[in-house]
Amino acid sequence: MSDLTRLTAADLAAKIHSREVSAVEVAQAHLDRIAAVDGGVHAFLHVASDAALASAALVDDSIAAGTAPASPLAGVPLALKDVFTTADMPTTAGSRILEGWRPPYDATVTARLRAAGVTILGKTNMDEFAMGSSTEYSAYGVTRNPWDPSRVPGGSGGGSAAALAAFEAPLAIGTDTGGSIRQPAAFTGTVGVKPTYGGVSRYGLIACASSLDQGGPCARTVLDAALLHEVIGGHDPLDSTSIDSPVPSVVAAARQGADGDLSGLRVGVVRELGGEGYQPGVQASFDAALRQLEKLGAEVVEVSCPHFEYGLAAYYLILPSEVSSNLARFDAMRYGLRVDEGASAEAVMAATREAGFGPEVKRRIILGTYALSSGYYDAYYGQAQKVRTLISRDFAAAFAQADVLVSPATPTTAFPIGDKVDDPLAMYLNDLATIPTNLAGTAAMSVPSGLSDGLPVGLQIMAPALGEAVMYRVAAAYESTREPLVAPEVSA
């Protein structure tokens, strides 16, 4: 393995910008790494070798000409979840219904990465339309966890997390609808951030559930995630839900936190997100993390969020309802797959959706259509939205008592491939600790907190809306006390 693939994004950027190494060398090292190991990981759906090298060469030319780098991450490679549109690469959202589709435009996140000089290596695998917790629901095959190839990397953004853990990229982009950044981060020993809803543009992000989806940074260190967060964040007039306010100063907060001093901060332990139902090793790792936070000077207090117990049920009514609406656009009439069966438009639509959608997508469309149907809307969708309000109030009350909240990121470590794919409820329970944040629209992240039986465990840190700075500070302080988690060497 090239030493370049082991470096952090911050260190790579420093070497590139000082001309110690070239961006082309860095890109080639990561492309070589992908070629060597991705056959056994399957993190990528599309590798854009020529485009990546061309992008890196532009950075080198600019630096050689004496021009300041376009951003602190100019020349650093990145893996992009295949749910963001890219005009020069296929965008499938992990679905056969979009197989081979090349969008006519870039997502805002894609455009901001390009403008920052970030080298996009390619598109990563994911659960179809971001519906899943294991990346087993991809139409293009399962991604494997670099820590143990017999286990899942989490989902829906398992490809992005696995690429980081396998040292195929130092940075990645994911999306988080109910935990799809944080859960894979926990399962792979990496860092994953779900920003405040509206903090990162959703323009060009293929929608799963529009009131829940949020793009965010994935990395191997807290500082790297912060650097990427500042590149992709900020107001976008093309996204009507985008927050018109500056990006929180997360890089400064991460650097401040690295000194390991949390004096004066209050950390709230959410009573309802722990204990029974959590794997003993996961709970033990969380308890050890709390002790460490106290050593850093934080005051640890218990808080109660009594309506969190209804979060899972509310989420699995709201999300399928929005899925039912959003996926109506895939009708075989405008773009994507078209199965020409039958004489009528209705027959073509039915045949195409039958062939193009996988079982989990169909399940959620059916659930959502039922929940929105006449006579059931108030009883299901309406009630779920009321629960959402109560959860937001729980957060508000908890943040009145603490600067950040913490919990285990997931109830278990990574589970074996195939273990839960035929049991939807068991699969849904993986998101037990992460869903409340999506329902409330607040910020959260997962940072590595150790191993349980040789598999990574994640610590979830939650903050109020636009409170990312204190979240990054706590995460960086905690990270400073731990050695990085490094997955065993993977093979093709």
Q: Over 70: is that where the pLDDT of 1 sits?
A: no
pLDDT band at 2 (very low <50, low <70, confident <90, very high): confident
pLDDT at 49: 98
- Domain coverage including residue 242: 3-306+393-479
Q: Give a yes or no: residue 461 inside a domain.
A: yes
Q: Over 70: is that where the pLDDT of 379 sits?
A: yes
Question: Which residues pair with residue 79 across a beta bridge?
Answer: 122, 172
**Stretch 357-369: mean pLDDT:** 96
pLDDT band at 334 (very low <50, low <70, confident <90, very high): confident
**Stretch 234-238: mean pLDDT:** 98
Q: Over 80: is that where the pLDDT of 341 sits?
A: no
Q: Over 80: is that where the pLDDT of 449 sits?
A: yes
Question: Average per-residue pLDDT in the chain?
Answer: 96
Q: Give a yes or no: residue 186 inside a domain.
A: yes
Give pLDDT tens digits for 93-152. Answer: 999 999 999 999 999 999 999 999 999 999 999 999 999 999 999 999 999 999 999 999
CA angle 271–273–276, rounded 5-degree value: 95
pLDDT at 103: 96
Q: Give a yes or no: residue 338 inside a domain.
A: no
CA angle 129–93–338, rounded 5-degree value: 95
Could you tell me what percent of the chain has a pLDDT over 90? 91
Contact between 300 and 455 under an 8 Å Cβ cutoff? The reply is no
Q: Give a yes or no: residue 143 inside a domain.
A: yes
pLDDT at 333: 87
pLDDT band at 483 (very low <50, low <70, confident <90, very high): confident
Give pLDDT tens digits for 273-324. Answer: 987 889 999 999 999 999 999 999 999 999 999 999 999 999 999 999 999 9
pTM above 0.85, yes or no: yes
DSSP 378: I
Give backbone dihedrals phi and psi of 463, rounded to 5 degrees, phi first.
Answer: -135, 165
CA pair distance 164, 304, nearest whole angstrom: 34
Q: Give a yes or no: residue 27 inside a domain.
A: yes
Q: Over 90: is that where the pLDDT of 237 sits?
A: yes
Give pLDDT tens digits for 246-263. Answer: 999 999 999 999 999 999
Peptide bond into 449 cis (omega under 30): no
CA pair distance 372, 381, nearest whole angstrom: 7
pLDDT at 274: 86
Question: Which residues pair with residue 458 across a beta bridge?
Answer: 448
Q: Which of 49-53, 274-278, 396-400 has the weakest average pLDDT? A: 274-278
Q: Residue type for 214, please?
A: Q
- How many domains is the chain built from? 1
**Stretch 37-56: mean pLDDT:** 98
Q: Over 80: is that where the pLDDT of 482 sits?
A: yes
Contact between 99 and 337 under an 8 Å Cβ cutoff? The reply is yes
Give pLDDT tens digits for 76-90. Answer: 999 999 999 999 999
Q: Give a yes or no: residue 45 inside a domain.
A: yes
Which residues are identified as catalytic? Answer: 81, 156, 180
Q: Over 90: is that where the pLDDT of 240 sits?
A: yes
Q: Give a yes or no: residue 86 inside a domain.
A: yes
Looking up residue 262, the CATH number of its domain turns out to be: 3.90.1300.10
pLDDT band at 425 (very low <50, low <70, confident <90, very high): confident
Q: Which of 158-172, 242-256, 369-383, 390-404 has the weakest average pLDDT? A: 369-383
Q: Give a yes or no: residue 325 inside a domain.
A: no
